[in-house]
Amino acid sequence: MADLSMSKAAPKKAVGLITLTDQEFNSLVSFVKTKYGINLEKKRVLIEGRLSNMLRERGLTTFRQYMDILFKDTSGAEVTTLLNRITTNHSFFMREKEHFDFLQKTVLPYLERTHPGHDLRIWSAGCSAGQEPYTMAMAIDEYFGPNKSKWDTTILATDISMNVLEKAQRAIYEADNIKDIPEKWRSKYFKRLANGSYQVCDKIRKEVVFRPLNLMEPFSFRKPFDLIFCRNVMIYFDGPTKEKLIDKYYNVTSKGGYLFIGHSEVINRDTTKYIYLQPAIYQKGGGPA
Ligand SMILES: C[S@@+](CC[C@H](N)C(=O)[O-])C[C@H]1O[C@@H](n2cnc3c(N)ncnc32)[C@H](O)[C@@H]1O
């Protein structure tokens, strides 16, 4: 799931830690797994560490009391807070740079040739705070150059965490987060703010539309996607959950469309309907030559 940067996240202070009983732990694990695909089976310490303070601030003394509130809440607010606390949405610009090279050298030339309508459908699924879709938008802008205005290449960027989506909309990043961006992109696509951080320029921001979406729920779209990035999201999903999601992606990929996953993730090449192209890159067959 979310880069639940799990193991490193032990609480700094164990003072006042509220511990989970086995029953509470199993019930919380099952809730999160069923609804969000996230496997917290080995994350007991992380949950206690990240949630104890919040429980205490709310005057709760046990996880049972907390879960009673969580399970009954129909507004979505409780679960949003939970996900914001237990997931770490680590991401950075130019992550897995080879993907952006392949995008410019292979994917975009193919899509340019096969889309006379000048309309590409692109999805960054599990976009975190926007680093991935904005990097895609910069790569696309550079590829099309002066012809970009003739193309609609709007990127749909979705995540389950409202926290990261708000950050993504602001598009403001610390210098460290953009350190892998080539200098020519930095000067072209970012503005430096007075406090030393950087904001993505309006032209690139307009290319990305952010929306909340839980990948565990059924999804359908008006038109299929020519390119889907779902990188470093499935790491914490178990095998069947991942396979189901890949099938769902396949159903919303256009013929000849591409799926990019994270380099540390694997798709079972014997069962997937996608054609394997190279590590972490797949294509749906049947597209125009
Ligand atoms: C580690 S970040 C990866 C960000 C980016 N794709 C990258 O590779 O840098 C994983 C993101 O997946 C999101 N995520 C996890 N489970 C999800 C789910 N069930 N539905 C939608 N997004 C989810 C998390 O909130 C998190 O922002």
Ligand 1 pocket test target in 90, 160, 227, 260 with most atoms within 8 Å of CB: 160
Residue owning the nearest CA to atom 5 of ligand 1: 127
Helix (H) or strand (E) holding 27: helix 22-36
Q: Which CATH class is domain 7-86?
A: mainly alpha
| Ligand 1 pocket residue status of 128, Cβ below 6 Å | yes
Distance CA 73, CA 267 (A): 35
| Ligand 1 pocket residue status of 91, Cβ below 6 Å | yes
pLDDT at residue 3 in the model: 40
CA angle 272, 275, 281 (to 5 degrees): 100
Helix/strand/coil (H, E, C) string of 63-132?
Answer: HHHHHHHHHHCCCCHHHHHHHHHHCCCCCCCCCCHHHHHHHHHHHHHHHHHHCCCCECCEEEECCCCCHH
pLDDT at residue 163 in the model: 87
Provide the residue type at 49 as one letter. G
Residues of the chain with pLDDT under 50: 1-14
Residue with token string 């590829």: 143
How many angstroms separate the alpha carbon of residue 160 from the centre of ligand 1?
7
pLDDT at residue 7 in the model: 41
- The domains of the chain are located at 7-86, 97-283
How far is C-alpha 241 from the chain's CA centre? 16
CB 48 within 8 A of CB 84: no
Distance CA 171, CA 230 (A): 20
Distance CA 50, CA 119 (A): 44
Q: Which CATH class is domain 97-283?
A: alpha beta
pLDDT at residue 15 in the model: 56
pLDDT at residue 239 in the model: 87
CB 243 within 8 A of CB 271: yes
